[in-house]
Amino acid sequence: MACCAVVWGAVSSNLGCRSHAPIHLWQPPQLRSMDGEKLVLMDIAGPADTAAAIREELLAGAKPSAGGDRSSGAAASDAFTVLLPDELESRATIQLVSNRDQAPSDLAIAAAARRSGVRYLLRGEIMHATGRSHSDQQLSVVWQLVGLDAAAGTHGLPITVDQTSLQRRYPELMAVPDPTLRLHRAMARETLGLIHESVVRQNVELANSYVTLGSAAVRRGNDLAALGNWPAAEDVWLQTLERYPLQTAAWINASIAAAARQDFDLAKQRITRAIRLSLLSPVQRHLAEETLVWLELRQRDYLESFDLPDPADGWRVTHASDSGPRSLR
């Protein structure tokens, strides 16, 4: 593992460069929560083959998963239902008011949706930044969630997926040999995440240490976290802190480990300790402060995903309007 240059001095005894590890975190709906709702998936404008493939992946991804497993991509649950237009009522009934031959009109579908208790239509238009009608490297879709009554409202958002970012965000999809199918499945996961809480994969920055007691153990914990083994990594960092309670890097990383299991109160207690200790180790102070901001943003996402109240002690460093990036780029 490469290390940054060490600057010797009385206040620099805990120097080290940074490393990264993957972490899975909850993300709230990006357009609107659809708990208990139904929506109609309208025709997706664009190349017919691509549209059909995306539609198939969306319908498959919206089905309840066995045992409620929602560990990757968009949450697959029975909290909302995706319907096709011909599932609203008989095709013949809709076509009676269609303004196109053998195709239901938007007005007819909207009327049938209201009669079925549906308040939303989901539209998509396939876009390609490359200008080509098909690409196995990048896929862009502009989505619009159309409300059928004044209270529902209309919302829109573009999503772009590409092979490079897909590998970071959904590494399990790299096992799919067809690159085009990988893009379609990633697009379905991102799209369902617009209207339901989802689990997303991020790379988080860890602190390293090279010249203080416990440095080797800190790096060993980092290696475990890089493999996705956060429980083992946390055990290593906590054991290190039992022996060397001034090991700032271990406090920083242990705070992230607590966030990995959604214990944000403990995470912020640990990062507060790290910030205080970093007064004696300025090289770690910037990362400790960055980590506190990151923790609060992730805690906001978690509480919003499950409609939970703000923490009793409020927010220390973020504001209600703060948010993270959306598109998979």
Residue 27, classed as helix, strand or coil, is strand
Q: How many domains does the chain have?
A: 2
pTM over 0.75: no
Phi, psi values for residue 159, rounded to 5°: -130, 135
- Look at residue 169 and tell me whether its pLDDT is greater than 50: yes
- Look at residue 22 and tell me whether its pLDDT is greater than 80: yes
CA separation for the pair 187, 192 (Å, rounded): 9
Say whether both 87 and 183 belong to one domain.
yes
The model's confidence at residue 215, banded by pLDDT at 50, 70 and 90, is very high
Range of 30-34, 50-54, 58-62, 306-310 with top mean pLDDT: 50-54
CB atoms within 10 A of CB 135: 18
pLDDT (average), residues 111-125 = 84
Say whether both 83 and 188 belong to one domain.
yes
Last residue of a domain, one of 200, 229, 247: 200
pLDDT (average), residues 286-301 = 92
- Look at residue 191 and tell me whether its pLDDT is greater than 80: yes
Say whether both 68 and 111 belong to one domain.
yes
The pLDDT mean for the chain works out to 77
CA separation for the pair 39, 15 (Å, rounded): 53
Tens of pLDDT, residue by residue over 126-144, are 886 555 556 778 888 888 8
- Look at residue 56 and tell me whether its pLDDT is greater than 80: yes
Is the distance from CB of 13 to CB of 247 less than 8 angstroms? Answer: no
**Domain region containing 301:** 204-305
CATH code of the domain covering residue 153: 3.40.50
Is the distance from CB of 42 to CB of 122 less than 8 angstroms? Answer: yes
Is 319 within a domain? Answer: no
Give the sign of the dihedral formed by CA 175, CA 203, CA 139, CA 135. negative
Is 282 within a domain? Answer: yes
306 or 329, higher pLDDT: 306
Alpha helices in the chain (DSSP H): 48-61, 91-95, 106-115, 163-169, 179-192, 215-226, 230-243, 248-260, 264-277, 282-305
pLDDT (average), residues 86-102 = 51
Say whether both 194 and 297 belong to one domain.
no
Tens of pLDDT, residue by residue over 61-75, are 876 543 344 334 444
Structure-token pair, residue 306:
């499950």
Question: How much of the chain, in percent, has pLDDT values that exceed 90?
Answer: 28
Structure-token pair, residue 325:
């990036």
Say whether both 215 and 68 belong to one domain.
no
- Look at residue 2 and tell me whether its pLDDT is greater than 50: no
Is 153 within a domain? Answer: yes
Say whether both 271 and 186 belong to one domain.
no
CA separation for the pair 218, 74 (Å, rounded): 33
